[in-house]
Amino acid sequence: MAGTRRKRVHGSAGQQELRRNGMMAHLLDSLEAGEDIGHFGRLVFTMVARHFLDEEELRGLLVQDPACDDAQALALIEQVRGRDYSPPRREKVLEFQAQQAFPICPNPEDPDAGNVYKDLRFPEHVYAHISEYREQKAHAHEVQGADAGG
């Protein structure tokens, strides 16, 4: 029966949105090609894609990685959702990339590469979560400075 086998699904609005970012397009293409994108590649992909794809579509993409079965995909999705991980900044992506062979960010010398915040629009709560985290971190830094100086 023609058309029943799904190979490259570019059709969902969420995937089209993700493809606006070069790194996410690279990760999508690699998953669709059946490549192992590494643990950190799957983590970065999940941290970003969960804001654009429903859980079933996200799981379906993750399991195209030969190193990720259904149980691992669901556990990763649950971990990211449960801890409410924000999409990583470029610097964090490059840290992750240094820990594995697969290039998460295909052109790390480009200062815009790996910056998902430049090309993608996330739900407002993501930006609020990041702002709250930075305020808490700044406050902790101030407290440490006061403790060290007094």
For residues 80-105, give the mean pLDDT.
96
Taking alpha carbons only, the member of 130, 97, 133, 124 closest to residue 113 is 97
Q: Is residue 141 part of a domain?
A: no
Q: Is residue 86 part of a domain?
A: yes
Q: What is the pTM of this model?
A: 0.80
DSSP assignment letter at 21: S
Q: Is residue 138 part of a domain?
A: no
What's the pLDDT at 123?
A: 74
Q: How many domains does the chain have?
A: 1
C-alpha distances in angstroms, 133 versus 25, 104, 126, 146, 147?
28, 25, 11, 20, 21
Highest mean pLDDT pick, 39-48, 84-93, 123-132: 39-48
Q: Is residue 61 part of a domain?
A: yes
Least confident of 29-33, 84-88, 127-131: 127-131
Sign, CA dihedral 145-128-117-104, equals positive
Q: Is residue 56 part of a domain?
A: yes
Query: In the block, which residue shows the tokens 């149980």?
Result: 71
How far apart CA 134 and CA 132 sit, in angstroms, is 5
Share of the chain above pLDDT 70, in %: 77
Q: Is residue 44 part of a domain?
A: yes
Q: Is residue 133 part of a domain?
A: no
Q: Is residue 2 part of a domain?
A: no
Task: Domain of residue 52: give its range.
Answer: 13-121
The packing angle between helices 38-49 and 70-82, to 10°, is 60
